[in-house]
A = this chain, B = another copy of it.
Amino acid sequence: MRSTDQILETLCDFLKIPSVSTDPVHTGDVRSAAEFVRAHLAGSGIAGTRLIEAEGHHPLVYGEWLGAEGKPTLLLYGHYDVQPPDPLDEWTTPPFEPAIRGENIYARGACDDKGQTLILLEAVRRLMDRDGRLPVNVRFLIEGEEEVGGEHITSLVESKPDFLKSDAAVICDTEMFAAGMPTLCVGLRGIVYGELTVTGADHDLHSGVYGGAAPNPIMAIAEILTSLKDRDGHILIPGFCDHILPPTEAELQAWRSLPFDEKEYLAKEIGASSLTGEPEFSVIERTWARPTLEVHGIRGGFIGEGAKTVIPARAVAKLSMRLVANQDPAACTRLLQAAVVEACPKGCSAEYRAIHSGAPSIVNTDNEFIAKSAEAMSEVFGRKTVFIRSGGSIPITGLFDLHLGIPSVMMGFGLPDDNLHAPNEKFHLPNLYKGIDAMVRYFELLGA
């Protein structure tokens, strides 16, 4: 059995690869990370490991072991690509030089999702090393475009190739509700992510000479944003909230029994003076079961040091909607596009272009794959497994359901303060090791 030191060294090697999928500069690094995963699988004795290529896309890593006759087949999913590391100057140690402080490892992708992907890889490695076989059949499908919308895996899954035929998917890309609390994620929000471009004059203008008569695209973006969402977090896009399916009373009751301290959440996870959002819903409902509209970045005009008195010709904002049960990404995109045009002040024109999207997903919990996962997690962590939702989006879960007809088991080992998508992302090392234990136990229970 590989020691924790060996596993940690492997994780460090994985984390050193800057596989930022959204940035063309890192295309070669993304491929290196894919090759890293493939080599790990091959080293475990997984058969037919290969990179599945598609023009203009990062490769998918595939590998299979199908020697457990009569036993279920699991589709094991993770992703080897990471978010961009900026703002770089807010990292304590560089994002691609993994650093261990206390019980945590700090690096971009430590938790999301290299650390968690490694749980799948190392669980299979341990069983193969120990037994020379697995108690269940597995197909690995590890992608490199999760952070940029997953077009490649989507088109693969949509084509339903025979080689993906499985009984359930296991996804390692979510969080525990709290440290030490084994957690299955059974619901995710959907997403539409895109760019809002606003154009005013056909060239930049001197703000002294023209200020008071010329349209200002940055101001127009401000007008549009405040038309789309009010100060209480209500989304004002006409028709947007019409078909939302609220959580059941049983779910709400279960959520209310979770150990959630709003003050601690505000202080430790958010670090702001107060929370925001729809006051008539609890924080858990707001982040798990209510849609949001967020602006992620904005650029326009002069942003250098000092002063430039210009009215810019153009401004661009990155804008997303998170969607909940029954909201359709395509329909919501059309509603947003219409609302943006409607809200644009005179003198400017506005256009919203979606970059990627994914449907919300609610997992059916009434099957042995969920039940045995919960059992394995409870055993290893010594505590009852809780069922939660997540406010994030893993579009692939909806696609596994729709096209492959299989449930997704989301076994997550991240922690709420792991700084996903932010500087100083970390992974709690005990969760890495217990995660592997839990995954091994899960395979054993399913194969018994």
- Using a CB–CB distance below 8 Å, which chain A residues touch chain B? 22-24, 83-84, 86-87, 90, 147-149, 175, 189, 191, 193, 200-216, 218-219, 221-223, 225-226, 229, 231, 233, 265, 269-278, 283, 286-287, 290-292, 294-312, 315-318, 320, 322, 345-349, 355-356, 390-393, 416, 419-424
Q: For residue A25, which residue of chain B has the nearest CB?
A: B305
Contacts A84-B302, A298-B299, A304-B86 given; does A421 touch B309 at CB 8 Å:
yes
Q: Are A207 and B286 in contact (CB under 8 A)?
A: no
Q: Are B318 and A303 in contact (CB under 8 A)?
A: yes
Q: Are A320 and B207 in contact (CB under 8 A)?
A: yes
Cβ contacts under 8 Å, A294 to chain B: 207, 211, 216, 219, 309, 311
Q: How far is the CA of A106 from the CA of B305 in the complex (A)?
A: 25
Q: How far is the CA of A149 from the CA of B307 in the complex (A)?
A: 9
Cβ contacts under 8 Å, A219 to chain B: 225, 229, 294-295
Q: Are B297 and A423 in contact (CB under 8 A)?
A: no
Q: How far is the CA of A380 from the CA of B84 in the complex (A)?
A: 61
Q: Are A270 and B218 in contact (CB under 8 A)?
A: no
Q: Are B308 and A303 in contact (CB under 8 A)?
A: no
Q: List 25 A-B contacts (CB under 8 A).
A: A22-B308, A83-B308, A147-B308, A202-B271, A203-B422, A204-B421, A204-B422, A204-B423, A206-B392, A208-B391, A209-B392, A210-B270, A211-B287, A211-B292, A215-B270, A219-B225, A219-B229, A222-B223, A223-B226, A223-B231, A273-B347, A294-B311, A297-B304, A298-B303, A299-B303
Q: Are A309 and B22 in contact (CB under 8 A)?
A: no
Contacts A205-B270, A215-B274, A272-B200 given; does A287 touch B210 at CB 8 Å:
yes
Cβ contacts under 8 Å, A189 to chain B: 208
Cβ contacts under 8 Å, A309 to chain B: 83, 191, 193, 294, 296, 320, 421
Q: Are B270 and A305 in contact (CB under 8 A)?
A: no
Q: Are B297 and A349 in contact (CB under 8 A)?
A: no
Q: Are A207 and B308 in contact (CB under 8 A)?
A: no
Q: How far is the CA of A311 from the CA of B298 in the complex (A)?
A: 11
Cβ contacts under 8 Å, A223 to chain B: 222, 226, 231
Contacts A203-B90, A218-B317, A270-B214 given; does A308 touch B297 at CB 8 Å:
yes
Q: How far is the CA of A229 from the CA of B215 in the complex (A)?
A: 13
Cβ contacts under 8 Å, A210 to chain B: 269-270, 287, 391
* Minimum Cβ distance to chain B for residue A76 (Å): 22
Say which residue of B226, B299, B322 sits within 8 Å of A212 (CB atoms): B322
Cβ contacts under 8 Å, A422 to chain B: 203-206, 310
Q: Are B300 and A298 in contact (CB under 8 A)?
A: yes
Cβ contacts under 8 Å, A200 to chain B: 272
Q: How far is the CA of A297 from the CA of B308 in the complex (A)?
A: 9
| Known A148-B307, A215-B274; further 7 A-B contacts with Cβ < 8 A | A148-B306, A211-B292, A213-B277, A296-B309, A296-B312, A299-B299, A307-B356
Cβ contacts under 8 Å, A317 to chain B: 218
* Minimum Cβ distance to chain B for residue A274 (Å): 5
Q: Are A191 and B205 in contact (CB under 8 A)?
A: no
Cβ contacts under 8 Å, A222 to chain B: 221-223, 225-226, 295
The 7 closest A-B pairs by CB, nearest first: A208-B392, A22-B306, A202-B271, A297-B301, A212-B286, A297-B302, A222-B222
A83, A202, A213, A278 interface centre (most CB from chain B within 10 Å): A213
Q: Are A212 and B272 in contact (CB under 8 A)?
A: no
Cβ contacts under 8 Å, A311 to chain B: 294, 296
Cβ contacts under 8 Å, A275 to chain B: 213-215, 347
Cβ contacts under 8 Å, A300 to chain B: 297-298
* Minimum Cβ distance to chain B for residue A240 (Å): 14
Q: How far is the CA of A424 from the CA of B201 in the complex (A)?
A: 15
* Minimum Cβ distance to chain B for residue A145 (Å): 10
* Minimum Cβ distance to chain B for residue A190 (Å): 10
Cβ contacts under 8 Å, A23 to chain B: 304-306
Say which residue of B216, B221, B272, B318 sits within 8 Å of A202 (CB atoms): B272
Q: How far is the CA of A393 from the CA of B223 in the complex (A)?
A: 27
